[in-house]
Structure 1
Amino acid sequence: MKRLLFPSIALVLLGCSNPQIREPKIELLESPTNSLLQAISIVDENAVWLSGHNASFIRSTDGGENWELFEHPTIDSLQFRDIHGFDSDHAVLMSAGPGSLSRIFTFDAPNQWQENFVMQDSLGFLDCIDFWDDQNGIAYGDAIDNYPYILLTTNGGKSWNRADTTNMPQAGKGEGGFAASGTCVTTGANGKAWIATGAGGNCRFIVTNDYGKSWTANNSPLITGDAAGNTSVSFVGTTGVVTGGDLMKPEEYTDNCAFSTDGGNSWILSSQPQTKGAFYGSSITKVDETYFAFVCGPNGIDYSSNLGQTWVTLDSMNYWAINIQNEIGYASGTDGKILRISLQP
């Protein structure tokens, strides 16, 4: 597909031309686990939660200097593929897997657990969660009964109910999410949320503007295929990045990254990132007048400071998740590794 630059993006790029754009600095942190870490939730500059395999997750309350390891007390096979921290002591955890392996818990440190949802459908598979605030949240999973599987909570994750499918587009055959980085759904202001889908030849966005009461769909320009499509979407205001690719082509370049400047109404493919293969996670932040977009996958991390016009490789290790808030962020992946990323001057 030919890559064109929308006029709106061109204007942003011209407005962001700055010879003193900051360059990200990275630091590999000491981790308390060797488990694959697949999701990151940043509460503030001090508190951050990461979750992963072997029913484990970790927390820092001092900006990543020290980490505390937690584990589910009885089920060590759970894969906590997403986590959302409300503060330094309270979080919601989502485990992924077929049927009853897909569960949602609330956790209050140091060791108070409550199981709030267990998938009853053997074909069900949860992929990711996010919250608009400390009460209203959303979970997304692979399609069931010809409709996207969307759960909503209005009490901080203590109970979940499937969203009404009356005002929802039907799912494509085999359509679902990639439970890789906890970012196949992202929430925005005033009840906005974007779900990034893929698989089975599907590749689109399912969008709500009213906290999940109604939904619309629009297509993504990323590659499609049985194991391809969108994997991750991230927004800051109305500017967003979507990434993905074909998981069956780990050493190839594909159409795997696009940007929007109008709240996801339209998307345009970026230039080709330097790193090959699919990307699993994405994050976008705005520092001063510059948008920094990060994408990560098994072959490394790339970033762009001009909405995808050019890319730079930040690291070449295996990362599944990335989250940047303002000037500080983290990436995580295989063998429990944690990378701190700074955009501070």
Structure 2
Amino acid sequence: MKRALIIAALASLATGLLPATAASATTQPMAPSAHDLTWQLTSTGVTARLRGLSVISRRIAWASGSAGTVLRTTDGGRTWQNVSPPGVTDLQFRDIEAFDANTAVILSIGEGEASRVYRTTDGGAHWTETFRNTEPLAFYDCLAFFDRRHGLALSDPVGGKFRVLSTSDGGASWAVLPNDGMPPALEGEFAFAASGQCITVSGGRDAWIATGGGAQARVLHSRDRGLHWTGSVTPMASSPSAGVFAVAFRDRHTGVAVGGDFANPTNGVDALAFTRDGARSWVEPMTAPQGYRSGVTWHPWFPTVLIAVGPTGSDLTLDAGRHWHQFDAGSFDTVGCAHDGACWASGEQGRVATLQLS
């Protein structure tokens, strides 16, 4: 029943979003009906800003954020367990990647030893520190996993190149990859640790990095799990507060980049682009979100549906990024969907929500 209702809602939105040229010659496109999508907030019991989110299913999700906070639910958000590691309230866990209700990896950001990775295999009852950065110039921003064993973590440039960590044992150990295959970073270029989505993967070997801060907002692409990278320039704005904040790929060819200027969050100009050739080239949408967006995800049931979130609202596209429609005005930092169709978002003041019909 829930799946049927969401399909009906998306179909309703599709009717309202179709451009006039695609509609029937005798029927004008209709506005979205009452079957709109919205976010239903859950009570987390915390006020931390939750920029890290990992969705396993409609019942199981993890979130992480400021003040060393890590949360877990196994009942669809009706209750949340605070499973934060002890003694780390000074850390900001900007990203979390979970594999099930018991196993998760979290990344804290910051210069030097503030950048760390912890891992749990018992639902957060115990955590093991598996990486602590010893390079003073490194600043780790985000991580992503190809599967339960293989993953990457991204640092801002060190010595003129982005630095990448690799794991082949599910985050139990990490090694810095050689940078011979990494192109030079632009002056002032870095990654934004805003949503845990500045690095993303698809399939078993492809990975993408989102950048900003310099003269151009770029996306870097690797076809061999981070050993070699090529860069492409997006049409998105770039400055010390602007660039590509998040990327999401349906497969190795089809992807979307979102971002904008966090210092001007209501400005959506040059804040989104999509690609059909694996990030070799980028195209701006016909209509875009009306503001900066920090997180984006594909819906697993519909090959052309994505959801983007940011501090000024949430948006939906039904045509793989060409046209966007805002469906919620609340503030969120990141978003994710599970294979069973459940979608979640999280953000400031302990906000975590599930996608529902309004």
**What is aligned with 2:63?**
50
Give the counterpart of 2:265 among 250, 260, 266: 250
Secondary structure of the residue aligned to 2:144 is strand
Q: Is 1:199 matched up with 2:213? A: yes
Deviates most, 263-272 or 316-325: 263-272
**What is aligned with 1:10?**
none
Give the counterpart of 1:121 among 124, 135, 151: 135
Q: Is 1:279 matched up with 2:296? A: no
Gap change, CA 1:202 and 1:102, over 3 Å in 2: farther
| C-alpha distance in 1 between matches for 2:70 and 2:237 | 32
Deviation string 1:27-80 (CA, Å, 9 cap, x unpaired) is 111212111110111123332111111101111112323211122211211100
**Residue 315 of structure 1: how far off its partner (Å):** 1.7
| C-alpha distance in 2 between matches for 1:226 and 1:56 | 27
**What is aligned with 1:6?**
none
Equivalences for residues 1-345 of structure 1 within 5 A: 23-108=36-121, 109-237=123-251, 238-276=253-291, 278-288=292-302, 291-326=304-339, 327-342=341-356
Deviation string 1:101-129 (CA, Å, 9 cap, x unpaired) is 11111123242111111111222211100
Does structure 1 conserve the Cα–Cα contact (< 8 Å) formed by 2:38 and 2:328?
no
| C-alpha distance in 2 between matches for 1:305 and 1:133 | 27
Deviates most, 197-206 or 143-152: 197-206
| C-alpha distance in 2 between matches for 1:40 and 1:292 | 20
Secondary structure of the residue aligned to 2:63 is strand
Secondary structure of the residue aligned to 1:121 is coil
| Structure 2, unaligned runs of 5 or more | 1-20, 23-28
Gap change, CA 1:215 and 1:56, over 3 Å in 2: same
Does structure 1 conserve the Cα–Cα contact (< 8 Å) formed by 2:53 and 2:61?
yes
Gap change, CA 1:23 and 1:325, over 3 Å in 2: farther
| C-alpha distance in 2 between matches for 1:282 and 1:274 | 12
Greater per-residue strand proportion: 1
| C-alpha distance in 2 between matches for 1:286 and 1:269 | 23
Does structure 1 conserve the Cα–Cα contact (< 8 Å) formed by 2:91 and 2:109?
yes
**Moved segments of 4+, more than 4 Å:** 18-23
**Residue 309 of structure 1: how far off its partner (Å):** 3.3
Secondary structure of the residue aligned to 1:100 is helix
User: How big is the alpha-carbon RMSD for the aligned residues of Structure 1 and Structure 2?
Assistant: 2.5
**Residue 341 of structure 1: how far off its partner (Å):** 1.0
| Structure 1, unaligned runs of 5 or more | 1-12
**Residue 239 of structure 1: how far off its partner (Å):** 2.2
Deviates most, 210-219 or 225-234: 210-219
Letter in 1 for 2:256: V
Deviates most, 334-343 or 98-107: 334-343
**Residue 188 of structure 1: how far off its partner (Å):** 0.7
Does structure 2 conserve the Cα–Cα contact (< 8 Å) formed by 1:270 and 1:307?
no
Secondary structure of the residue aligned to 1:287 is coil
| C-alpha distance in 1 between matches for 2:55 and 2:274 | 23
| C-alpha distance in 2 between matches for 1:23 and 1:325 | 20
| C-alpha distance in 1 between matches for 2:223 and 2:179 | 15
| C-alpha distance in 2 between matches for 1:235 and 1:280 | 15
**Residue 286 of structure 1: how far off its partner (Å):** 4.7
Q: Please, what TM-score do these two structures have when normalized by structure 2?
A: 0.85
Gap change, CA 1:110 and 1:325, over 3 Å in 2: closer
Does structure 1 conserve the Cα–Cα contact (< 8 Å) formed by 2:40 and 2:354?
yes
